[in-house]
Amino acid sequence: MCGFVGLIQARGVEADVVPSLVLGLQAVQHRGQDAAGIATWDRSDRIRLYKDVGRVSEVFTDEAIRALPGRAGVGHVRYPTGGGATRNDAQPFMTRRPSIALAHNGNLTNLAEIRRHLAIRGMRAVSLCDSESILLALADELQQQQLVGHSTEDLVVAVRRTMQRLRGGYSVVALAEIDGELTLATFRDPHGIRPAVYGRTPGGGWAVASESVSLDVNDARLEGEVPPGGLVLLRPGGEPVVVEILHEAQRHCIFEDIYFARPDSVMAGSRVYARRWAFGERLAREWQARGLEADVVVAVPDTSRPAAQAMAERLGLPYREGFIKNRYSGRTFIMPDQATREAAMRLKINLIDEIFRDQRVVIVDDSIVRGTTMRRLVQMVRQHDPREIHVAIFSPAVRHPCFYGIDMPSQYELVAHGPEQGSALEARLAIAFGADTVAFLSEEGLLEVAGAEICAACFTGIYPIEVNEEERGDIVRDRRPHIVADAAALTFE
Ligand code: SF4
């Protein structure tokens, strides 16, 4: 997963854009903490680029910010779901002929095919990051239209030809000179799997971002989402130019709403907070229908709070903050290896004894991926002598890998993967976690709340974009080189 921001100042605003880009990136820091970068377009029409490994506040020192003058730019925070984790793989990327700065969120499933195409065209990416290949393909298509002086028409043709080559979930932001004017361009995969929004800044500039919270921190008004398969062109003082390039049925990643996005973001037409609340209400109905009873509802912080509060309200039970999170320890799911994640867990959460002791507790969490966090949490709660521990998850079981940009590419790592489904799976996981019961939201419940225009492949195994065996193997080898020796990890069902 990654996050991006693009900004172009209103006409007459002479201030450098980089402080606003830094703010926008900090607002989506949760989307990636491995590296950060910004490219700006300076007043001599040169692209300035600075990127490094680390969080935004670590990378963008005063000195780095001073090195990035200009009234327009694009920025990126990186969590690698493909390629390496070095400075060389950090985004944005840039080309000089034509001058383009580009950043991207998502995962291409046919990267090997694109690299073969680029090689035939005499180009080779110097990084392992798929964004560089997108940039090279786009720059090549643009050069095939004209060598200099590109028009909107040229860009539309170049984006269309590029998108015809790309497969996977992606959203892209780019800065280039089009029709003689600096232009912020953003496009999104045909199903709109990965998010992208745009908004107007005070005075008539424009902002583009993975999440609307990056617009909020810059006082930009949300104008809309980049349509699935659409291209949006933005220039100061002008209206957005929206072009349909390759539209297919919308399949917004529902894992964004469940886990990844901030609750104050607006995605796929609704506030993430409201959707999490609705998931909690639906889960409460399903939980009650099983005839279960409890004394108190506790959320695993932070993502689960709205769903847990909704569940408590619906069940007529008190909601309590039983887990106290150390804010400075990071997210376990986003950390790159198992040993680090387990050590981080001990640092991450402490419990309030009185909330659990002698109580029948419902622990609400967003999802179960590896199961490490929940197993450890239940162990910790047991040490406080509760009467019963019930685990309630406001999403269905994650039983299939994701190939579109969320870091769970191998079924090998998914604790819910296997032949059991439904109550048999829940019983197996209750034993594995040491809980009295485990209950997932049903797939019907997920669809009732979120609608049909979603990707839910990690729950259902129904992939909106076909990924063949070779591509699946490539993605796992890229992300999990340590498990490729296990043949089961490369056998997809
Ligand atoms: S498979 Fe799951 S995580 Fe991946 S894009 Fe689809 S819903 Fe999102």
Tell me, yes or no, if 129 is annotated catalytic. no
Asked if residue 89 lies in contact with residue 130, where contact means CB atoms within 8 angstroms, the answer is: no
Among 402, 411, 472, name the best residue to mutate to test ligand 1's pocket (greatest count of ligand atoms within 8 A of Cβ). 402
Lowest mean pLDDT among 136-140, 330-334, 382-386, 402-406: 330-334
User: What tens digit of pLDDT does each residue of 407-435 get?
Assistant: 886 888 899 998 999 999 999 999 999 99
Please determine, for residue 490, whether its predicted confidence score (pLDDT) is greater than 50. no
Mean pLDDT along residues 259-281: 97
Closest atom of ligand 1 relative to the 251 alpha carbon: 6
Compute, in angstroms, the gap from residue 461 CA to the centroid of ligand 1.
10
Which protein residues touch ligand 1 with a CB less than 6 Å away?
169, 193, 253-255, 402, 404, 406, 455-458
Beta bridge partners of 222: 199
Mean pLDDT along residues 94-115: 96
- Which pLDDT score, from 0 to 100, does residue 477 have? 75
Nearest Cα residue to atom 2 of ligand 1? 458
Closest atom of ligand 1 relative to the 400 alpha carbon: 1
Compute, in angstroms, the gap from residue 290 CA to the centroid of ligand 1.
28
Provide the pLDDT confidence category of residue 332 given band limits of 50, 70 and 90: low
Question: How many CB atoms lie under 10 A from the CB of residue 473?
Answer: 15
Nearest Cα residue to atom 4 of ligand 1? 402
- Which pLDDT score, from 0 to 100, does residue 288 have? 96
**Amino acid symbol at 472:** R
Mean pLDDT along residues 430-451: 97
Mean pLDDT along residues 380-402: 97
% of residues, the chain, pLDDT over 70: 92
User: What tens digit of pLDDT does each residue of 242-255 get?
Assistant: 999 998 999 999 99
Nearest Cα residue to atom 6 of ligand 1? 455
Residue of higher predicted confidence among 483 and 152: 152
Closest atom of ligand 1 relative to the 406 alpha carbon: 3
User: What tens digit of pLDDT does each residue of 194-213 get?
Assistant: 999 999 999 899 999 999 99
The sheet with strand 241-244 has its strands ordered as 93-95, 100-108, 168-178, 181-188, 230-234, 241-244
User: How many angstroms separate the CA atoms of 33 and 47, rounded?
Assistant: 24
The two tokens of residue 312 are 């408590």
Compute, in angstroms, the gap from residue 463 CA to the centroid of ligand 1.
9
Please determine, for residue 334, whether its predicted confidence score (pLDDT) is greater than 80. no
User: How many angstroms separate the CA atoms of 227 and 121, rounded?
Assistant: 30
Compute, in angstroms, the gap from residue 13 CA to the centroid of ligand 1.
40
- Which pLDDT score, from 0 to 100, does residue 485 have? 44
Closest atom of ligand 1 relative to the 408 alpha carbon: 3
Beta bridge partners of 96: none
Compute, in angstroms, the gap from residue 32 CA to the centroid of ligand 1.
17
Q: How far is CA 250 from the centre of its chain?
A: 17
Among 252, 254, 258, 465, name the best residue to mutate to test ligand 1's pocket (greatest count of ligand atoms within 8 A of Cβ). 254
Provide the pLDDT confidence category of residue 330 given band limits of 50, 70 and 90: low
Residue of higher predicted confidence among 481 and 140: 140
Closest atom of ligand 1 relative to the 456 alpha carbon: 7
Please determine, for residue 486, whether its predicted confidence score (pLDDT) is greater than 80. no
Please determine, for residue 489, whether its predicted confidence score (pLDDT) is greater than 70. no
Among 108, 272, 404, 492, name the best residue to mutate to test ligand 1's pocket (greatest count of ligand atoms within 8 A of Cβ). 404
In sequence order, the 6+-apart residues with CB closer than 8 A to the CB of 459 are 395, 396, 397, 398, 399, 400, 443, 446
Closest atom of ligand 1 relative to the 253 alpha carbon: 8
Asked if residue 186 lies in contact with residue 209, where contact means CB atoms within 8 angstroms, the answer is: no
In sequence order, the 6+-apart residues with CB closer than 8 A to the CB of 355 are 296, 298, 320, 321, 322, 361
Query: Can you list the domains of the chain with their CATH numbers?
Result: 2-250 (3.60.20.10), 272-490 (3.40.50.2020)
Provide the pLDDT confidence category of residue 49 given band limits of 50, 70 and 90: very high
User: How many angstroms separate the CA atoms of 111 and 165, rounded?
Assistant: 10
% of residues, the chain, pLDDT over 90: 82
Compute, in angstroms, the gap from residue 353 CA to the centroid of ligand 1.
36
Please determine, for residue 58, whether its predicted confidence score (pLDDT) is greater than 60. yes
Compute, in angstroms, the gap from residue 243 CA to the centroid of ligand 1.
26
The rounded mean pLDDT for the chain is 92
- Which pLDDT score, from 0 to 100, does residue 347 have? 77
Question: Which residue in this structure is represented by tokens 């029948």?
Answer: 360
- Which pLDDT score, from 0 to 100, does residue 323 have? 96
- Which pLDDT score, from 0 to 100, does residue 484 have? 45
- Which pLDDT score, from 0 to 100, does residue 336 have? 58
The two tokens of residue 418 are 């296997």
Nearest Cα residue to atom 5 of ligand 1? 253
